[in-house]
Structure 1
Amino acid sequence: MALRRKSERREVREMVGWVLLWTIAGMWGERPQLKASDVVFMYAPRDPALYDAYAGTVVGWAGRARSKSPQDAQWFRQRVEEAQKRRLRYCGSVDFVVDFAGFIDFRPDRFMEAVCRDLDGNPITVPWLWDHRYKGHPAYWFCTNNPDYRAYLRDQVERACIAPIDGLHIDDWRGTAACSAWFGGCFCPHCTEGFRNWLKHRFSEEQLKAMGIERIDEFDLRAFLKSKGITAEQWRKQRSRLPFGELFQQFQTEQMLQVVREVFEYAESLRGKPLLRSVNSSASSPEALVVAPLVDFFCGEMGHHASTAQAPVEPAFVFRLVEGLGKRQAATAAGHDWAWIAANEKPGLVRTWIAQAYAFGSAFMVPHRQWCYTPEKGTHWWEGKTEDFAFVYRFVRENANLFDGYRTLANLSLVYTHANFSEIRSAALELIKANIPFSILVAEPTLGIKVTPKDISACEFLLTGKQPLPPEFEQLVKSAKVSVVQWQGIEKLPESAFRQVRVSGEKVRVSLRYKPDDPKAPVVCHLLNQDYDLQKDDVRPREVAVSVSRALLGKALKGVPQRAILRTPKTPPVEIPIRLDGDWLTFTVPELGFWAVVEIVVR
């Protein structure tokens, strides 16, 4: 097909720009935000005393009333008020996919009309809910383009807003777009008609004829594909290479973004104020990022490769990426990771995940009750022990001034666009492993970030991929005093771009952070010990010497550094010696556990 796009990532990048019109500030003014020192509970705990034990500040993914009955409404209000009286912000939640049982009760006479269908017209079920049934029915994947199902989403919003919630979370926000991307849906009448209208308003008659559509008002995608001999299995596995495959996915994605926007706006109209918005997204791909202009933070599962028994580097890339979007990730591990933790009982490994999230400017949700999943066992749960984790979160809250308002300190920025995702991701992973400081500058037009000359001039070097950058961004770069380097590996970087931090020993990860709006604030150096011992379920303590370029420190500190203060989750703060030796500042941590925070102070 002449007009077929080359890749799903490119289709996201070229998405008409309409999402840019959806500024999430909207009529309410300044948006609420997740702070770097926030301690987020994924679910409301059975015992509210856990809020105090962990020094919690946010409940991120915390449901709604079961029904609108006075009894259920009172139960939910009490749950919200239990958190709010402890000064936590409480986010209700809406489920786009997994609450299949609720919809069966909502439309008992015609719920089957809303089931997602494959190319053969067969119903599609939610694969990870294979062990769930309700009233004799499997976990159907219901279509978010169906009017009845959209009415049920509004009903969920109304039940969440029965109580004075502070935010709203959407689980499985991609809805039918995810069913289309992974499982061969959806060919229900509403998707078929919707796609026909989408094509009609997007392309001219000549363009449609070039695609093989003679009469758009009669076009039926399912019938067209069947006439070409395409099977349901082919569509599920090879959609992007088949006629209309990527256009259909683009249609589904745009429909979903509209639904997400409407759900958030409806909730805010009911509550009469801006709500803290989040979705369950790993934020780890272009497809996962398209929702960014509509949310205040990401809140969801990310793969942590628990079975390797090593601290993973991939989440650190995501934390840097969302920082470039002006947001944070309230992360948790994936269901298979928690299943491994549950089977092996390794809370020490989880502590390394928590430390890494906060060290890179995001958060890791309190692991008090975790959803686990394996194909063999299905859904099961793991209960984290307070004594294993609460001290880590209390450490963050006790030192909130060293987290809030801080950003990555670097003289190198990676320039992100969807088209350059793979190269920028590869570069970021290599730089993190090598302890080369970098930030990420988001130049992707569809993500709603307005890049300024100040943003570009903040670093000495811009690192790019091979694909062209947006023309507007190129113009800004030309007028800035900055060197542009195309990623070809660390060994090809200019020496001054990467010789900024030196660390003695291996398996220590460094994250340097500073407070751009306060030149009197200390620079903070996070040290993460990655030398995890599976048998001991702890890291191997080690002495670590760290040297930081004084030129890099000079970007953040107005004056000569005078002292350093070492803070760890288990020990009182202590001043440690610093040495100024030519171009370097050096300090030594005598015994690094899983995490240390070092303040570098001028006064």
Structure 2
Amino acid sequence: MAVVASVFSAFAGTEPGKDAAVVKKYPYPFKYSDVISDNISIVPVDRIIKDWGGNVLMWGEPAISDIDYNGENLYGKRIERKILKGKEDGVRIYIGSCFFLLHSMYHKFLAADPTLQEAAIRDIEGNRLTVPWMAGHTYRGVPLYWSCANNPRTRQFYREVITENMKAGYDGIVIEEPRGAAHGVGAGGCFCDHCMELFRVYMGKTYSPVELKKRGIDNIDTFDYREMVKPIANTREAYLKAKKKGKIPLAEDFMEFHLKEAANLVGEMSDLARSLGGEDTVVGLFGLRLGPEWLLNSHHIDFYASELAWGPPAEDGYKGVSFTFEVARALGKPHAWTYISPNQATFIKNHNSFNLVKAWIAMSYAAGQHFNIPHYAWAMPEAKVDVWNGRPSFKQGCSPHLYFPTESYLPFFRFVTEHAELFDGYDSIEQIGVLHSSPALRNRKFEQRVHDMCWELYESNIQYGLAIAGDDWVVHDLKESDADRFEFVIVPEPTKLDDAQQQIVDTWTAAGKTVKWKDVNDILSRIDPVVSLESDSGIFVRPRKNPDNALVPAVIHLLNTDYDLKKDGMNEQRDVVVRLSHKLLNGGTVHCITQYSPEDEPVQLSFEVKPDGVYVTVPKVDFWSVLKPECINE
């Protein structure tokens, strides 16, 4: 890259501008101890870097300009200087953005260009759709039209953004709304001319003439999906009602076409970024959860970024988040930017529960992932959200108007950077595995069953990982060696795998490496947990292991779950007893155990060595503690 040092050389510890062999200590360019912040110009960059300790910045402003200064992009020059200054001040990785949906800092480009306004998602009548969760948003009187990612003009704009971003010197890009026009299908789009032509071609390539006839298509050359749908629903309202009742023909094909078209687009934009920025260019995707529809792009990208549905830990508030983190980890893609969805931000605002965010920061780092420095969030101005997982109406839209008490969170981020040795180099432990079948998980009820099962494992402090089996959506084939990571693999049924991957599962079963799910007690009866909670305490125990560190082979994160909404704080857990199995410590002899916690001094803990493990007593856990056992290997 012309302007900034290689991402990988940066994280390997080499100085910018100097040649050195790349030492890839991590499978991706983020360190566990990184402190990450967005950079959407609401907060000055120097404050993020110098006052808040951010060393990885994401969501950088687009380096394009809506004004042509005799062919000179002065705005891009300003962004270039901004990136260079950030690097001088300590930014390790600086990532730009490309919004497939032109909202927020991209709205002004939409408003200035009538051709982009016309390149919108359209309903069955040809009407342009506006973004429903941003109702009422305008820029100089121009509504926030929902961009169709399949429109040639929109794609041209994406290329312009990525080209100028890489010229300015960003280390990579994060793509927002990578599902493209598929996102609009649920709202009654996209029936624009371009999507109709692409869908016609897609159907012709996907099915034989005989199969097409069975689907009501007599002549693929003249096929127009709108004309097939209009006799059933000729308005958007009628379409949504008919779709809910399952009366829209080819509905699954139509959605799958849009998802695959979006995945191809992500691949094209990723290739463009890397062709301009070099092979070290990092590409990430922004999403809401890592369900199957979000994973079609996984082979094109390096990391994920999401606004997730968080809640109080004792109220299943980590359920979806913990599963999303495991999916990302199993794919080898870090969840490098984690934040709060508008629903949960509105819940926080309505209940004045800002300290709950501290628990979410802790949980993210305990999982080996990252949490964005909280300084603002999108929320609904007037919506009533009584419970964290409620679904408020978006009639009034949402906006980035909620500001957090950022200073109160900084001790948690400083804790990570000041004790980087407790994070860098440590990986999650996978004592047992769970088969993650992409074709099976497309069924929402089945997906929910797998979520429920994995959450029971998490709540019971059973350390698990996912063995991902792909399909035509997820490019990730199961390998026979995948089972080697686990003592055994839980196989939810039906698997719906192709023959080759099913053969692998059958081989595991023949070798005694698979079990069927009964309940969590059955799983506990089959294992000697690497860690276990031995006191009646509201604690999640998350160990992490470093096979290259014989002196400190593992660290153990303790997450308090007893959040009190009324006082906006944790009820401290006292005299917490945790058992560390000898295998967790690689047979080493423990000579001391230290407790580290944000805003507290380190504490030497008492422990007792027994035949089945090391029992350590922790006098107090507030939000989060990390235990560091130091060993002597005899």
Same fold (TM over 0.5): yes
Say if 1:310 and 1:530, in contact at 8 Å, map to a contact too. no
Task: Look up the match of 2:62.
Answer: 64
Shift of 1:453: 4.3
Distance 1:258 1:29, change over 3 A: farther
Task: Look up the match of 1:150.
Answer: 155
Task: Please tell me whether residue 82 in structure 1 is matched to residue 85 in structure 2.
Answer: yes
Provide the C-alpha distance between the structure 1 equivalents of 2:23 and 2:241, rounded to a whole number of angstroms.
44
Please show how residues 84-103 of structure 1 align to structure 2 within 5 Å. Answer: 84-85=87-88, 86-99=90-103, 101-103=107-109
Residues 391-446 of structure 1: CA distance to partner in whole angstroms, max 9, x if unpaired?
11111112223222322224211111121433321111111122222222222344
Q: Secondary structure at the match of 2:576?
A: strand
Shift of 1:193: 0.7
Task: Please tell me whether residue 36 in structure 1 is matched to residue 32 in structure 2.
Answer: yes
Task: Look up the match of 1:402.
Answer: 422
Shift of 1:303: 1.1
Please show how residues 414-453 of structure 1 align to structure 2 within 5 Å. Answer: 414-418=434-438, 419-420=440-441, 421-445=447-471, 446-453=473-480
Task: Look up the match of 2:230.
Answer: 226
Counterpart AA for 1:434 = S
Task: Look up the match of 1:14.
Answer: none
Shift of 1:179: 0.6
Task: Please tell me whether residue 118 in structure 1 is matched to residue 123 in structure 2.
Answer: yes
Distance 1:202 1:380, change over 3 A: closer
Provide the C-alpha distance between the structure 2 equivalents of 1:343 and 1:502, rounded to a whole number of angstroms.
34
Say if 1:125 and 1:138, in contact at 8 Å, map to a contact too. yes
Task: Please tell me whether residue 168 in structure 1 is matched to residue 188 in structure 2.
Answer: no
Distance 1:221 1:310, change over 3 A: closer
Residues 218-272 of structure 1: CA distance to partner in whole angstroms, max 9, x if unpaired?
1110101123457533533554833110101111111101111111221222223
Q: Secondary structure at the match of 1:357?
A: helix
Q: Secondary structure at the match of 2:380?
A: strand
Task: Look up the match of 1:54.
Answer: 52
Task: Please tell me whether residue 357 in structure 1 is matched to residue 368 in structure 2.
Answer: no
Residues 279-315 of structure 1: CA distance to partner in whole angstroms, max 9, x if unpaired?
1113331112222222211112001147999853331
Distance 1:55 1:482, change over 3 A: farther
Q: Secondary structure at the match of 2:181?
A: helix
Say if 2:311 and 2:318, in contact at 8 Å, map to a contact too. yes
Task: Look up the match of 1:285.
Answer: 291
Say if 1:311 and 1:530, in contact at 8 Å, map to a contact too. no
**Paired-residue identity, %:** 27
Q: Secondary structure at the match of 2:410?
A: helix
Task: Look up the match of 2:387.
Answer: none
Provide the C-alpha distance between the structure 2 equivalents of 1:126 and 1:38, rounded to a whole number of angstroms.
34
Task: Look up the match of 2:596.
Answer: 567
Shift of 1:164: 0.9
- RMSD, aligned CA: 2.7
Task: Look up the match of 2:519.
Answer: 489
Counterpart AA for 2:515 = V
Task: Look up the match of 1:534.
Answer: 565
Deviates more, 1:45-54 or 1:345-354: 45-54
Residues 311-343 of structure 1: CA distance to partner in whole angstroms, max 9, x if unpaired?
533312222221111122121010222233334
Q: Secondary structure at the match of 2:305?
A: strand
Task: Look up the match of 2:494.
Answer: 467
Shift of 1:128: 1.7
Task: Look up the match of 1:600.
Answer: 629
Please show how residues 323-362 of structure 1 align to structure 2 within 5 Å. Answer: 323-329=329-335, 330-362=337-369
Residues 342-389 of structure 1: CA distance to partner in whole angstroms, max 9, x if unpaired?
344433111001000111111111002323235446314233334301
Say if 2:592 and 2:630, in contact at 8 Å, map to a contact too. yes
Deviates more, 1:415-424 or 1:118-127: 415-424
Task: Look up the match of 2:221.
Answer: 217
Say if 1:95 and 1:170, in contact at 8 Å, map to a contact too. yes
Task: Look up the match of 1:458.
Answer: 485
Counterpart AA for 1:440 = L
Say if 1:309 and 1:532, in contact at 8 Å, map to a contact too. no
Q: Secondary structure at the match of 2:266?
A: helix
Residues 532-580 of structure 1: CA distance to partner in whole angstroms, max 9, x if unpaired?
1223322111224333352xx4156243333322111122323312212
Shift of 1:454: 4.1
Deviates more, 1:327-336 or 1:96-105: 96-105
Tell me which of the two structures has the higher relative contact order, counting C-alpha pairs closer than 8 angstroms and 6 or more residues apart: 1
Match of residue 511, structure 1, among 542, 547, 550: 542
Provide the C-alpha distance between the structure 2 equivalents of 1:453 and 1:106, rounded to a whole number of angstroms.
54
Name segments (4+ residues, structure 1) moved above 6 Å. Answer: 28-31, 306-310
Provide the C-alpha distance between the structure 1 equivalents of 2:534 and 2:372, rounded to a whole number of angstroms.
29
Task: Look up the match of 2:378.
Answer: 371
Unaligned 5+ runs, structure 2: 1-21, 382-393, 442-446
Shift of 1:496: 2.7
Distance 1:417 1:498, change over 3 A: farther
Counterpart AA for 2:426 = Y
Say if 2:538 and 2:573, in contact at 8 Å, map to a contact too. no
Deviates more, 1:309-318 or 1:344-353: 309-318
Task: Please tell me whether residue 253 in structure 1 is matched to residue 282 in structure 2.
Answer: no
Counterpart AA for 1:77 = E
Counterpart AA for 1:371 = W
Residues 447-468 of structure 1: CA distance to partner in whole angstroms, max 9, x if unpaired?
3335444431222121121112
Q: Secondary structure at the match of 1:56?
A: coil
Provide the C-alpha distance between the structure 1 equivalents of 2:199 and 2:268, rounded to a whole number of angstroms.
20
Give me the TM-score of the superposition, normalised by structure 1.
Answer: 0.88
Task: Look up the match of 1:18.
Answer: none
Task: Look up the match of 1:134.
Answer: 139
Counterpart AA for 2:589 = V
Distance 1:171 1:151, change over 3 A: same
Deviates more, 1:356-365 or 1:535-544: 535-544
Give the aligned length.
Answer: 572
Shift of 1:102: 4.2
Task: Look up the match of 1:6.
Answer: none
Counterpart AA for 1:465 = P
Unaligned 5+ runs, structure 1: 1-27
